[in-house]
Amino acid sequence: MLDLIKARRSIRKYTSEPVTDEQIKTLLEAAMAAPSADNRKPWEFVVVRDAGLRKELSKVHPWAGTAAGAPVVFVVCGRPKDSDHWVEDCSAATQNLLLGVTALGLGAVWVAIYPRAEREDKVQRILNLPMRWRTLCLVPVGHPAETKPSRTQYDPARVHYDAS
């Protein structure tokens, strides 16, 4: 598990090989295994495979282009009315998703949507999401067409023991 955590890197280039339904389910199981405040699980996951929709999502902001080239994009949404911890809970789910991707030998990247209102509006319109949902991020997933080394970014200067 510790090796897996270090092996997770942002992968932005993918081959055309599809991600299977079984892999998608495995990743959703990993995401929904995340901790959530009061175990409210205020998350929703939209699985986008349609090429036209992915292309539209890729234009939501200048660093979202990876959505067009990945065979599947997970859109991680939250229900703020059900928990004021929706951002933390959905972030934990997203990290689980990313680790699941690494475990399956796939590649992915966290593409920020929240907290920019204009980005959220665009995603809401493209996918016709319920207005009561918020969008935390997009996670394009595919078979990696680039490799990056495992690493920790451990920095002792960021560590503080007891009263600092």
Give residues in contact with ligand FMN (CB under 6 A): 9-10, 12, 63, 66, 109-112, 148
Amino acid at 128: N
Cβ-based nearer residue to ligand FMN, 30 or 139? 139
Query: Cα-flanking dihedrals φ and ψ of residue 31, to 5°?
Result: -60, -45
CB of 116 to ligand FMN, least distance (A): 10
Residue located via tokens 């997203």: 94
CA-CA distance, 84 to 153, in Å (whole number)?
Answer: 31
CB of 10 to ligand FMN, least distance (A): 3
CB of 149 to ligand FMN, least distance (A): 10
Count CA atoms within 13 Å of residue 159 on its CB side.
Answer: 4
Cβ-based nearer residue to ligand FMN, 20 or 150? 150
